Amino acid sequence: MSATTTRTGRALTVVIAAALLLSSCTAVEPPADGQSVPAEPTPAVTNELNGFEGELGLDWARIASPLDEITPLNTIEAAAGRLWVLANTNEQIADTFVTRTGRDRLLVSNDGVEWSEVDLDALGIPREINGGAVMTGDHERVVVVFSASNGVFGPDGPQPRPWVLVGDLDDWRVFGPDELGEWSVTATGSGRFNVGSMLDVALVGDTVIAAAEGSWPGSGRSVTLIVATLALDLSTGQAVLRADRTAPFGDDDLHTISNLVSHEGAAYAFGHSTTGSGIALTVWRTTDGITWSEQRPNAAELAPFVTVVDAAVGPPGLVVVAEVDADGIGADGSVALSSSDGQQWNLVDLGSAWDAEAVFWSGDSFVVAGTARPEHPVDEFEATWVSSDGLEWTMLERSARLAFVLEVVEIPGGLIGVREDRLTGTGVLPPFATLVG
């Protein structure tokens, strides 16, 4: 993940740090499902962000970009030598005042300044797909998983399946329903299930591992929230789709996932489970997307209600930031948990005066960005914590000015990310803007 958070209806800012070394784009012909389509190779190009000086991950400046006019953005990824952005689309249902989220747009750039749109129609991705997509990638390819449906509670009966797009702009593979197969269901109770929007996706070797919202309607108004999963082996083309009302994503709890990341040959899903006594931080681990293990780290030390905010991976290991709440009424502060092996976790209290909003690896340290809680007057509205190992954290005397940051990814020579851009005190959302740093 890449870690992905979608917040619609708010303006976003793109932030870039240092120089970008990326490749140029070409058009491609539409492929058949599951097939590769070659295109002429293109030379690499370099964009130097001349005149920038500052500390990587902490200093930022603004540049112009066509993304200023696109709303709302979903997430950004650095993969296959290029930058990729997903943008939500909203469409009005005929003869109603209701809007729904349509198929996401996929944008690509060589330098973070000039952007073009990938022709999803030509690639065979149907327009009828609803709901936001999720994205990840590596140095060889970008992976986009388009949602099967829009919302958790769909009609009973056969459930729509996601579409998967894999490639590098010069060579695409598309996996549709014929390649992915039917949902595998292990059920109790009503025997009915619904699959909703995608939550996140990770790439472990050649295996795409994605998670979606799911539900099992029970008697009356009762419902069990589950996590439906997709595992796609790109080397063989074999896929497994599961929407099971069994452990670790079913049983008696209500589950959701906020972030999926890959680390040391495994995917880690960070989320929370609603139990009889609160909301527990939960970590699920898998190497193949089919068999999962579950743990609830530092449960005795955490408040009864925990909500995952963001997660990141770097050479030292894994870091997840979360809000904690003692009574279920409102957050009482934020914490950071870190692990080098995904088994043993270290807990650090970030304080009650701040809401942690994002965490990312800057190239030499983890950075947590946060904003002040209204009931705790402080001198600065924003706060920034850094840690080289995820164990010891330092709150900086100056902020990195990353309030409302949603996603930051590491690229050769720097960072790029997206954030919400708000004008406080006016009630007016500013246009999109691009920052460089």
Q: Check if the beta carbon of residue 415 is closer than 8 Å to that of residue 362.
A: yes
Instruction: Provide φ and ψ at 240, rounded to 5°.
Output: -130, 120
Give 315's contacts (C-beta < 8 A, 6+ positions apart): 361
Domain boundaries, the chain: 12-27+46-436
- Tokens read off for 183: 């949902």
User: If you classify domain 12-27+46-436 with CATH, what class do you get?
Assistant: mainly beta
Q: Which helix (H) or strand (E) holds 211?
A: strand 207-217
Residue 103 clears pLDDT 80, i.e. is over it: yes
Instruction: Report how far residue 26's alpha carbon sits from residue 306's, in angstroms, rounded to the nearest whole number.
Output: 46
Phi/psi region, residue 14 (left: phi>0; alpha: psi -120 to 50; beta: rest), is beta
Residue 49 clears pLDDT 50, i.e. is over it: no
Of the ranges 12-21, 97-106, 158-167, 232-241, which one carries the lowest mean pLDDT score?
12-21
pLDDT for position 45: 28
Instruction: Report how far residue 199's alpha carbon sits from residue 64's, in angstroms, rounded to the nearest whole number.
Output: 31
User: Among candidates 356, 280, 272, 264, which has minimal Cα distance to 313?
Assistant: 264
Higher pLDDT, 414 or 8: 414
**Can you list the alpha helix ranges (DSSP code H) found in 110-206?**
177-180
Beta-strand pair 207-217/194-204: antiparallel
pLDDT for position 73: 75
Burial class, 375, CB count within 10 angstroms (exposed 0-12 / middle 13-18 / buried 19+):
exposed
Q: Check if the beta carbon of residue 437 is closer than 8 Å to that of residue 16.
A: yes
**Can you list the alpha helix ranges (DSSP code H) found in 228-303?**
none
- Look over the chain and give the mean of its residue pLDDT values, rounded to a whole number: 76
Percent of the chain past pLDDT 90, that is, above it, reads: 35
pLDDT for position 196: 79
